[in-house]
Structures are given as structure tokens and as C-alpha cells.
Structure 1
Amino acid sequence: MERALKLVAASLPLVFAFAFLVPVIDQGMRALGLGAPFGLSTLTFALIVGGAWGLFAQVTGRWI
């Protein structure tokens, strides 16, 4: 049980990125009428940006 909790705690930056940041980026772009670059959908763009940001936080241990 302790091992499972440590695994969950270690992956929280990625969980936060995909559960919170991706929808906020996607809906924010739609609300502002912004299009994603390279012909991507706003959701695909949000997954790329949010996932990269979450991975950065996972690896470095900080968000900025």
C-alpha cells in the first residue's frame, strides 16, 4: 500500500497537467477564439502543451 501511494504521489504533476491544465488551455483557447498552430485542434494543442509542462514539472520537481 505504501508503495502504491508513493507511486501516485510521484505522478501527481502529470495527473494535474492532464486533469486540470489541458481542459483549461483547451477551453480558454476556444473562448478567446484562438486557433491552434499547424492545423491542430485546440484539444491536441492543449494535450501537447499541458503534457510537456507536466513532464517538465515531473522531471525537475517545479512548475516554473
Structure 2
Amino acid sequence: MQQALKAVFFVMPFLFGIGFIAPVTAELIEATGMATPVGLTPLGFGLVFGGAWGLYATAKGSWL
């Protein structure tokens, strides 16, 4: 059980990135009427952005 919790908490920044940052980014894009690059949907762009930031935070151990 302890190993399973360690694994979940290790990837928690990535899960936060795709579970929270992605939808917030998509809503901000829709609210401001901005165009997304490469014709992605707002949610698609949010998932790429949030996932990349979450992977960076997981790898580095810090959000900044």
C-alpha cells in the first residue's frame, strides 16, 4: 500500500496538470476568444499545455 501511494504522489503534479490546469486553460481561451495554435481545440491545447507543465513539475520536483 505504501508503494502504491508513493507512486500516485510521484505523478500527482502530472495529474494536477491534466486534471486542473488543462480545463482552466481551455476555459480561459474560450472566455477571451483567443485562437489556439495549429487549429487545436481549446481543451486539446489545454491538455498539451497542462500535461507538459505537469511533466516538467514531476521531473524537476518543482512547478517553477
Give the TM-score band, short-chain normalised: over 0.9
Aligned to 2:45: 45
Show structure 1 runs of 5+ residues with no match.
Answer: none
- 5 Å-filtered alignment, 1:46-61, equals 46-61=46-61
TM-score by length of 2: 0.94
Taking the aligned partners of 1:12 and 1:38, their CA distance within structure 2 comes to: 29
Aligned length: 64
Aligned-partner residue type, residue 43 of structure 1: L
Runs of 4+ in structure 1 off by over 6 angstroms are none
Aligned 8 A contact 1:35 1:41 in 2: no
Aligned-CA RMSD value: 0.7
Deviation of residue 19 (structure 1)? 1.0
Taking the aligned partners of 1:48 and 1:13, their CA distance within structure 2 comes to: 14
Show structure 2 runs of 5+ residues with no match.
Answer: none
Deviation of residue 57 (structure 1)? 0.2
Over the matched positions of the two proteins, sequence identity in percent amounts to 42
TM-score by length of 1: 0.94
